Amino acid sequence: MAETVPSSADVPATDFSATEIMTVAASRLLHDGTVCFVGIGLPSTAANLARLTHAPEVVLIYESGPIGAKPNVLPLSIGDGDLALTADTVVSTPEIFRYWLQGGRIDVGFLGAAQVDRFANINTTVIGAYDAPKVRLPGAGGAPEIAAQAKEVFIVLKQSRKAFVEKLPFVTSAGFLDGGDAREKAGIPGGGPTAVITDLGILTPDPVTRELTLTSIHPGVTVEQVREATGWDLKISPDLKTTEIPDAAALAALRDLQARTARAHGQSAGGEG
């Protein structure tokens, strides 16, 4: 893992952490001009990294109403004032959901998760029985609507058997439900998840079954490691690729963003660790 922050983008990108490659890989999925509904935490870090590097015209929308937010540091919550201060405009939360999201104007919903299953359904509600949970999680927020309405969804989280489970104790946000055409039959309009980015690799849904398949593995990670971190019999693409390593400019931008955030908030913001 990296111990020092490079002062120049000319430093070779040979030393990076699993979290850094996950964040950079997630950021690369965002294209310039994309309208992105951003969740707090790792999604916000990846989306802002994209804005600071290869996609300066990406439009970041947060649930509290900022459109075109350009925060100097990572927000602590959707209510962080820096989002409104740096936005192109701020509208009401109902307008964000009714006009932008339900109106089909969101290209990408960028979400985190506590747990996912093989069909990219998300749990952020409880671990254990709903009436007597072992852990009460932060809850849904706007994620169910984002997952249902965005043209496509990216999910980013660290991979482990506790996070990648055979059966979710609670489905907070719909992926592909039971797989196949179940999402369409349920009348859910958005396109659903197109990528799950983890600290081990990238999983994408099979075009027919909609089951998550490992399609890219991060450098230094083995297929066995990914399988061991998955709570079901994970399918591996026959065309499995190796994730491109983070370039020096992206690493420098990410580390600078996190350093600024730490100075501003006195802690590491955004759930990176």
By annotation, the residues acting in catalysis are: 63
d(CA 83, CA 60): 10
Q: Which region, left, alpha or beta, applies to residue 103 given φ > 0 means left and ψ of -120 to 50 means alpha?
A: alpha
How many whole angstroms separate alpha carbon 239 and alpha carbon 216?
9
CA atoms of 148 and 142, how far apart (whole Å)? 10
Q: Provide the pairing of β-strand 122-123 with 115-116.
A: antiparallel
Greatest CA span in the chain, whole angstroms? 54
CA atoms within 13 Å, Cβ hemisphere of 219: 12
In the chain, the amino acid numbered 23 is T
Listed in sequence order, the residues at least 6 apart from 31 whose beta carbon sits closer than 8 Å to its beta carbon are 55, 58
Q: Which of 139, 136, 145, 144 is nearest to 124 (CA)?
A: 139
Phi first, then psi: what are they for 240, rounded to 5°?
-55, 130
Radius of gyration of the chain (CA): 18
30, β-bridge pairs: none
Question: Are 12 and 240 in contact, with CB atoms under 8 Å apart?
Answer: no
